[in-house]
Structure 1
Amino acid sequence: MLIAKNKKGELVSALNAKREEEFVCPACEKKLCLKHGQKQQPHFAHLKKDACQTLSEGETTEHLMGKVWLSQRLPNSSLEVYLPLLKQRPDLLLAQTPIEFQCSSLSLQRFKERTYNYLNYQYEPWWIVGKKFVPSQQMNQLQKGFCYWAKTAYLWHLDITAQQLRIYYLTSWDYNRGYHWQCQNIAQDSSLTQKNSASLNLKPTTTYWHAVAYKRFLRQRLFRRQPRFLRLQHFFYLKRENLLELPFWCYASSRYHFFFEHELLVLRWLFLQSKNWQHWLWQLAKLEWQWDFPLVCQKSILREIYLECQVLSGQKKGSFSPPK
């Protein structure tokens, strides 16, 4: 941690603290020690026996340096402000925007709890990830959970080695290549407070998705008896349907494969069984599935998927078209 209280109750940065002073934790009021060596970023730490559950311990050099880097570029922000009502302490706070620079492992459940806690108190969290969470061909649910949405999934990343803030955008998924994206550096002199993708060039990239090839892919996975596809087939079997015999439009590409991957087939099939939007939502709720994307409005995405189904199935004319 970078901020502590001195004997006067004043908040002091580790960058300016003196070794001879005594410091306590702003959250738990327990004693802290100042660590300041030639090879490490100055920071405060709890004594092992007094570990604080509210504040993160064992911070990496990447995390400490990243917080300093961000604070220098966000002059109106405050480091490590403790929010007593939430019992949370973001890395930085900029007005109603808590900024979290996530470098270490974190469970998906804990990430969702922290994010929803911010949202419930009308804060708008800005999650920025370290090198551990940079997107790859395969992305786990936590990596995807860090993403925002504005016509595309996008993810903020701070490369502290290169001293560069980046945004990964036009993030999508296809059955053959997994996840792919574009990456753009954020100019050093641009405002870091604009945590959206409005300034990006959102021209869709070429994909290699073909509905016929996708059906062939599914057939091959079923032939190899891969568990995930057998479970999917079992769902349709219980409904007296076949995974490979859905209407052809169900196999079309979609930007919403990012959220659901192959399970988007279930949402499309349920659309065929639904009388209207509310009936479709009711059928989805019966599946008892979880939404793992707290930074993205679930209802908005589901509405977009429903409209997409209407257009693809020919029930409604519209300008929607899948990525080319």
Structure 2
Amino acid sequence: MLTAYYNGEIVYAQQAANKNVYLCPACMQQVILRKGNLKIPHFAHMKNSDCINQQDGETNEHLNGKQQMIEFINPHPAKLEVYLKEINQRPDILMGNLAIEFQCSPIGVKRLTQRINGYQDMKMRSLWILGSNYRKKFCSTSMNKFFYYIKGWGFCMFFWNTHNHDLEMRFNCQFVNSKLRYQKMFFYTWDEFIHKLKFPPKNLSYGHNIDNLLKELTNIRNKIFYHDKFALKLQNLCYSKGHDIAAAPLVCHFQNCTTPVVGRKYLYWKILILNYLDNDLQVEQLYKKSIELLKISESYPLIKNVDKFKRQAFSDFLADLCKRGYIIIKENNIYVKKYPAWFHDYYQKIQYIIMKV
């Protein structure tokens, strides 16, 4: 901790003296002032402390980052490690009704959701800024829980760099041909950050890339070869219809961008939809039937109404099928004009794509 109580007032570790007795703001137990060469001055609980908000063992990155963020926010008023008794939580920084958390250590979806909901119960917003270990895992699905959605900026995530003292915003995060792409912007003051958010970039689209398409196809084939459970399940469904998953129609690749909510499963989803396509289905029936097997993660505690992004991706693909003359939708009923042509196998599909390019 960077703060503690002394004589009923909050004291910063940098200004604290070793001779005084300090108390934890949460549990009011005595804490120890540590001033060494490896970490910046901080307070630590005594051994075997039962404080629920105990954060002993904080990394130097976490301690430094919190102090740097206070300087980043200046001259706006902000406080370090304010204990909120009503929800038994202590945000790293409290700025009005905004709780700022600098997350460096691992945290599960359940615990993260509890903390986010705690702030919401207090009518507060929370901004989760991530450390270096999370930056290394950015493309992992385990990072989905930290995504925000900001109108005009798309799906975003935030990182703090303790070496450069800057806030990094990764925005316009989209999966293009099953690969995560994003743009970056850096901020050096809070005012700069807030000002830039008011003016989102005009063009957030990603174009088609033949190399990425070929890699996507190769990836599907490799998943079958290495017996990926989900890919095999879908391949068996394709076989039952007389198709090969790696030989899916080209229409599956025209809508090549999607949000992290659907992510790498977008191509699988489109293949599923084509397998289920039938005159006897309504739009909602097709949506539920196709998404049941897909099992898309719901782990987005910082985003409201995640389902709308899944429905949008579904609607975009159906709209493309309509545009290309494969189906007609009337009163939410699907009418198939012609079924998209499947290739004989993976090699025929690859050859066709290369020849067309």
Letter in 1 for 2:72: R
Q: Which residue of 2 aligns with 1:54?
A: 53
| Higher share in helix | 2
Q: How far did residue 240 of structure 1 move? A: 8.9
TM-score by length of 2: 0.73
**Kept after mapping to 1: 8 A contact 2:265/2:294:** no
Structure 1 residue 302 corresponds to structure 2 residue 310? yes
Give the counterpart letter for 2:303 in structure 1: V
Q: Name the counterpart of 2:84.
A: 83
2:48 is paired with a residue of what secondary structure? Answer: helix
Give the CA deviation at 1:144.
2.8
One-letter identity of the residue aligned with 1:307: S
Partner in structure 2 of residue 159 of structure 1: 161
Paired residues in the alignment total: 313
Task: Return 40-49 or 216-225, whichever deviates more.
Answer: 216-225
1:238-277 to 2 correspondences below 5 Å = 243-244=245-246, 248-256=250-258, 258-265=260-267, 267-268=269-270, 269=272, 272=277, 275-277=282-284
- More deviation in 69-78 or 261-270? 261-270
What are the ranges of 5 or more consecutive residues in structure 1 without an aligned counterpart? 317-324
The answer to whether the Cα contact below 8 Å between 1:67 and 1:92 also exists between their aligned partners in 2 is yes
The Cα offsets for residues 202-250 of structure 1, whole Å up to 9 and x where unpaired, read as 4434452576764454234324434442244356668998644655433
Partner of 1:321: none
1:116-131 matches, within 5 Å, as: 116-131=117-132
Tell me, which stretches of 5 or more residues in structure 2 are unaligned? 323-327, 330-357
1:181 matched to which residue of 2? Answer: 182
How far apart, in 2, do the equivalents of 1:116 and 1:242 lie? 45
Identity %: 23
CA distance in 2, matches of 1:238, 1:26: 64
Return the alpha-carbon distance in structure 2 between the equivalents of residues 23 and 204 of structure 1: 54
* Deviation larger for 149-158 or 54-63: 149-158
Give CA-to-partner distance per residue, 1:14-52, whole Å, 9 cap, x none: 222222221111111211111122442111110121142
Report the residue type matching 2:119 in the other structure: Y
Question: What is residue 174 of structure 2 aligned with on the other side?
Answer: 172
**8 Å contact kept, 1:126–1:195:** no
Where does residue 341 of structure 2 map in the other structure?
A: none
> Could you tell me which of 319, 326, 341 is aligned with 1:311?
319
The RMSD of aligned alpha carbons is 3.4
Q: Is the 1:65–1:160 Cα contact (8 Å) retained in structure 2? A: yes
Tell me the CA shift for residue 283 of structure 1.
Answer: 6.9
Q: How does 1:3-42 map to 2 (within 5 A)?
A: 3-6=3-6, 8-42=7-41
C-alpha deviation, 1:261, in angstroms: 3.2
Question: Which moved further from structure 2: 270-279 or 214-223?
Answer: 270-279
Which runs of structure 2 are paired with 1:198-237 in the superposition (5 Å)? Answer: 198-200=199-201, 202-208=203-209, 214-215=216-217, 217-234=219-236
The Cα offsets for residues 238-286 of structure 1, whole Å up to 9 and x where unpaired, read as 8998644655433344442533334224544459576245873587478
Q: Pick closer, same or farther for the CA change 1:120–1:135 going to 2, 3 Å.
A: farther
Post-superposition CA distance 1:133-152 (Å, at most 9, x none): 1156x722332321212353
User: Which one is further off, 198-207 or 145-154?
Assistant: 198-207
What residue in structure 1 maps to residue 64 of structure 2?
Answer: 65
Tell whether 2:292 aligns with 1:291.
Answer: no
Distance 1:225 1:279, change over 3 A: closer
Return the index of the structure with the highest Cα Rg: 2
TM-score (norm 1): 0.80
Tell me the equivalent position of 1:319: none
Structure 1 distance, partners of 2:242, 2:94, is 53
Instruction: Give the CA deviation at 1:130.
Output: 1.1
What is the distance in 1 between the residues matched to 2:85 and 2:256? Answer: 42
